[in-house]
Amino acid sequence: MVHEVVDHFGQIDALINDAGIVPHFNWGIPRWPRVRLMSKDFWDSVIQTNLGGTFLCTKYVVPFMEERRSGNIVNLWGGGRAENHGAAAYVVSKDAIRTFTRFVAEEEREWNVCVVAFSPKQAIATEDAPEEARKRLPGPEILGNGFVLATQAGMELTGKTVEHRNGKLVVAD
């Protein structure tokens, strides 16, 4: 995939790691099983998709960014609370992405590759959400140009978790 992008466009300026398996509690979809009832295959699927996908895309994009001594990597972070029984695999994978972001940011600092975790701050109903959820929850438009701003973040934000507030990118609380 990465080689096809480079062959077609000549370079990679930004990577947004946004794919994931999500427990859509806010969508009214049945809860995932608690850890004691969860199969290892299910756990592995969530961890490998959310964290493993972020790792693999980052691993294969970084050499092209290092070669140019420039680039931005944005890792989607956030969601889920301990009281949401059944969210353990998701929350663990997302917290691991935040830690991954900090470590990769330090590894890539000398090559001028900025790596941030981006927080949407709330549940969002995408186009495949049930109608009821789309009526009750904000859609992706609530993020405004947050992803664009994150792909333009300066090195002073590398390793940080950021969010979009009032048209600006700010370090999350």
Q: pTM for this structure?
A: 0.89
Given 90, 100, 118, 147, which residue is catalytic?
90
Residues paired with 171 in a beta bridge: 162
Task: Report which residue type is found at 6.
Answer: V
Q: What does the radius of gyration of the chain's CA atoms come to, in whole angstroms?
A: 17
- Beta strand 168-171 with 113-118 is unpaired
User: Per-residue pLDDT for 114 more than 90?
Assistant: yes
Q: Mean pLDDT of all residues in the chain?
A: 88
Report pLDDT for 104. Answer: 98
Q: Please state, in angstroms and as integers, the Cα–Cα distance from residue 140 to each residue in 66, 73, 124, 144, following that order.
A: 31, 20, 6, 8
Question: What does the pLDDT look like over 10-64, one tens digit per residue?
Answer: 999 999 998 777 766 555 566 678 899 999 999 999 999 999 999 999 999 999 9
Q: Is 128 left (phi over 0), alpha (psi -120 to 50) or beta?
A: alpha
Question: What does the pLDDT look like over 144-170, one tens digit per residue?
Answer: 788 899 999 999 999 999 998 888 898
Q: In the numeric block, which tokens belong to residue 52?
A: 């493993």
Report pLDDT for 19. Answer: 79
Mean pLDDT, range 106-132, rounded to an integer: 86
Percent of the chain with pLDDT over 90: 57
- Torsion angle of C-alpha atoms 84, 27, 150, 104, degrees rounded to 10: 40
- Our count of domains for the chain comes to 1
Report pLDDT for 25. Answer: 56
CATH of the domain at 118: 3.40.50.720
Domain that holds residue 34: 2-171
Q: Please state, in angstroms and as integers, the Cα–Cα distance from residue 56 to each residue in 47, 88, 142, 172, following that order.
A: 13, 22, 28, 25
Q: Is 90 a catalytic residue?
A: yes
Select the more confidently predicted residue: 85 or 11: 11
Name which of 28-32, 68-72, 121-125, 148-152 the model is least confident about.
Answer: 28-32
Q: In the numeric block, which tokens belong to residue 121?
A: 């701050």
Return d(Cα 132, Cα 128) in angstroms, integer: 11
Q: Find out whether 71 and 61 touch, Cβ atoms under 8 Å.
A: yes
Q: Find out whether 40 and 50 touch, Cβ atoms under 8 Å.
A: no
Report pLDDT for 173. Answer: 73
